[in-house]
Amino acid sequence: MLGRFNTLVLLSALASASLVASGCGDDEDSPPADAGDDGGDGDGDGDGDGDGDGDGDAGEGGVGGTGGNGGMAGGGTGGTGGIVGPPPVVCGGTECPAVDPQAAMFGVQNCCQEDQTCGSRTMATGTLCLPPNAPGSFDGTCPIWQAAGGVITWFGCCTPEGQCGALNAGVGGLGCVANALLMVPEQSCTYNEANTCTEIVDVKCDGNEDCGDGEQCCGQYFAGAGYVGTACVETDSCATIEMEMMATGGGYWSQLCHAAEDECAAENTTCSQSDLLPPYLARCRDTGTAPVEAAAPSAAGSINCGDATCGAGQKCCISTPGLAVCSDAAAPCACSAEPTTEDGGNTDDGGN
């Protein structure tokens, strides 16, 4: 059972590439790994060496030396030699998309489901063939699922059968995987067919001006998933919370701000734009670009929310895909899908 759990973790990280898709190019993602020592030259059977510098260069023929892969040194294979994907699988007359060779190294392979459509499985799942893009949508009442100490995080979701699961929504992802398949306790939920969201960010503040004395407006982000929301927290720095909660999978915490000249509590950080937040929100980190004008409004008790500004007693609920809308601060955020008419034209903005 434990082996099946661990292999599902590898499947999520390698087959769906969700971590790369969510955190690429931004500092809220996992800190960059130490390049480590040079992997050394791996003398191939051909006339070239694998240089181990991350390029994965190999000679003509033979097995290259250490494949750099971001500096991970070791006696692996690299370059153009050594890693060969499994043979193609055909289901119902259709050839399944090829498994990434790196994923194949960990036992990930294509399989045919009972209806003769393509799926994925590992050595540990036995005859169980998991479907890609299983139906289901984001559900904040279902628990977030984490593995590897929070390195892998999926938002909670609800399946059409009314069971909580974990949402792997990346391209080629597994979709909403029921808790039972992830070896975690089952939990019921209310499935809503109209809910098409894969992420909802609950924004209760967009700067320290919205918070009380001794509080900071902090945003919480999970690697491989995205931002969960922002809230006023009693602390001297959001970075302090990040350090305290990192060991327990609490994600990354950043102070919300508005303009480049805003003061950031964490050392060596500045107010900057993040690819992981909409342009009307900014945060304090050590990377990013200068905030744009949309993030500038900084009146106390108001929250930037797309084309709108949320006032007293309200918060901003940002749906992906969908709209940013002002909602009752005391109510859970709901999915606000982009409204359309029958002929494909947009209707009103749903209160945005």
Global pTM? Answer: 0.66
Whether 346 shows a pLDDT value over 90: the answer reads no
Q: What confidence tens digit (pLDDT) does each residue in 11-49 have?
A: 444 334 333 333 343 445 444 333 344 444 444 444 444
pLDDT tens string 97-113: 876 564 565 456 788 98
User: How many other CB atoms are found less than 10 A from the CB of residue 328?
Assistant: 11
Secondary element (H or E) of residue 162: none
CA 217 to chain centre: 22
Per the prediction, the chain carries an average pLDDT of 75
Looking at the DSSP bridge assignments, the partners of residue 178 are 165
Give the pLDDT of residue 83.
Answer: 53
Among candidate residues 128, 126, 129, the one with its CA nearest the CA of residue 117 = 129
pLDDT at 227 over 60: yes
CB 149 within 8 A of CB 249: yes
With contact defined as beta carbons under 8 Å apart, do 154 and 144 qualify?
A: yes
